[in-house]
Structure 1
């Protein structure tokens, strides 16, 4: 079978299919299970400087084309999370810690307080006041936060970008100027749902983030544009549920792909192995190496 091993955003992995942040990365056991199920790397649930309960429920609702969630970044704080990272590492794959804060100093504090194989800066959550996209939509803040974290740790730093802006390339360039090793595109699309019987917004927070198949074309466009403009790698996420989806993302220019909402399907954790094996078989059938697939669609533009 064609080899899928290589470097993704400065981290060596057995394959480029990762667990996305915010889905099953709350516990070390879920991280370890994803790694043993075939994920090339795993990204934790986002953690910050202080414990947060998140938004009141309902926090998740299924809609046509995916899921809406407004969790509100619930987490135990970084001071209570190192054990989960250590347990996750027992799965044999790199563990990337997703972290958030309200500014450079808070991001730096969290990063310095954790031992992980890399950090993913959550500058894109669409439903947490003072965090995520509220600061990640400004290029100057993206650059400053990235530079602060990159200067305080010795492992790769990824920046997860919001699609809820007019110029995602500008944010990617800001992350690159700040020293990021990769950008992750994209986080969820800001969205909402209303109950027609009561007229009330369904989510407790009124609006949340849309994930799943419906956002794949948006993610694809962002990956394509960013890969064309940046010198650092792009990691694609958004609606990846099959090896075909992963191949599309890589053809658009992604160095790796992350899987999130699709874990709710019947195959569950088995999706990591099914995507990587399908991708490997596809490369064998085409007589191609993974490096040849990367950015293939950009050659036609």
Structure 2
């Protein structure tokens, strides 16, 4: 049995998810690449439109990329009416990454999309919980448990929780599992900073680090979590080749997400799937 067939509430023809953010809402990738994915995880959607952060939003680092987009998105109404129909037309299941500043906002998003044809939701718990003084949901296992339990009462389909790689990760993972999450995405970007010296005076840029630089860190996280939780893990972090994806499988992942690689090569998902297939065929032939 192929690992991705074991993910509850989601039917996948292959294990590659397009990760939230880097492919936008499909504007930057060839349609054939989008259609070839196992599932599509949308750019984060909030209840109301968000303009995001002022530039600079991106800075390159050795083997990585720091982004501080600021969760820019058009909001629920525009997404549902103008963007989602186009995404659904590509064929793969559409998983909506949702973000909110309170439990109620997350619930309103699920309610607003429940009858829209989406396959499920990925919950971005790195957002601050305004009602608890701005602490990120990812730093509060009890808050994550309560949020996921309420979402599960509202939605019976696929429900993934996107973990932060910092903070009480194991406690949060266990809380999400106990509350009824279908899967855990492991993991979001790592807090990072770069210094630009090209303008005469130092300019600091803070954001989330992604790309090959974080792969060893996230591999370890997947390996550790796979031994502590039973819910399937969807790996996300520095996957550029099929070998990268295969290593995540060996560490306990059941599927994986490709993000920064598509900024380097828009057709990277096709190549990664082809390379991974060779590893899997070899693995199964020896199994």
TM-score normalised to the size of structure 2? Answer: 0.90
Cα distance, 1:150–1:218 mapped onto 2, change above 3 Å:
same
Aligned to 1:186: 187
Q: Distance in 1 between matches of 2:8 and 2:33?
A: 19
> What's 1:170 paired with?
171
The equivalent of 2:87 in structure 1 is 88
Q: 1:236 & 1:75 partners in 2: Cα distance? A: 24
Query: RMSD in angstroms over aligned alpha carbons?
Result: 2.4
Of 122, 125, 141, 1:123 maps to 125
Which segments of 5 or more consecutive residues in structure 2 lack a partner in the other structure?
none
CA distance in 2: counterparts of 1:13 and 1:150, whole angstroms: 21
Matched, 1:275 2:278: no
Q: C-alpha distance in 1, partners of 2:24/2:270?
A: 18
In structure 1, the residue matched to 2:212 is 213
Normalising by structure 1, we get a TM-score of 0.86
Which of 137, 145, 148 pairs up with 1:146?
148
Whole-Å separation in 1 of the counterparts to 2:34 and 2:25: 14
| Superposed CA offset, 1:145-164 (max 9, x none) | 11111111232100000012
What secondary structure is seen at the aligned counterpart in 2 of 1:193?
strand
Relative distance call for 1:31 and 1:86 in structure 2 (3 A) is farther
The residue number in structure 1 matching 2:157 is 155
**Distance in 2 between residues matched to 1:45 and 1:96, nearest whole Å:** 10
- Work out whether residues 148 and 180 of structure 2, in 8 Å CA contact, stay in contact via their aligned partners in 1: yes
Q: Match of 1:296?
A: none
Aligned to 2:136: 134
Query: How many pairs are equivalent?
Result: 279
User: 1:149–1:3: structure 2 CA closer, same or farther, 3 Å change rule?
Assistant: closer
Change (3 A) 1:177 1:286: closer
What residue in structure 2 maps to residue 297 of structure 1? Answer: none
| Aligned equivalent of 1:57, options 55, 58, 61 | 55
Q: Secondary structure of 1:81's match? A: helix
Aligned positions of 1:71-86 closer than 5 A: 71-82=69-80, 83-86=82-85
- SS of 2:109's partner is helix
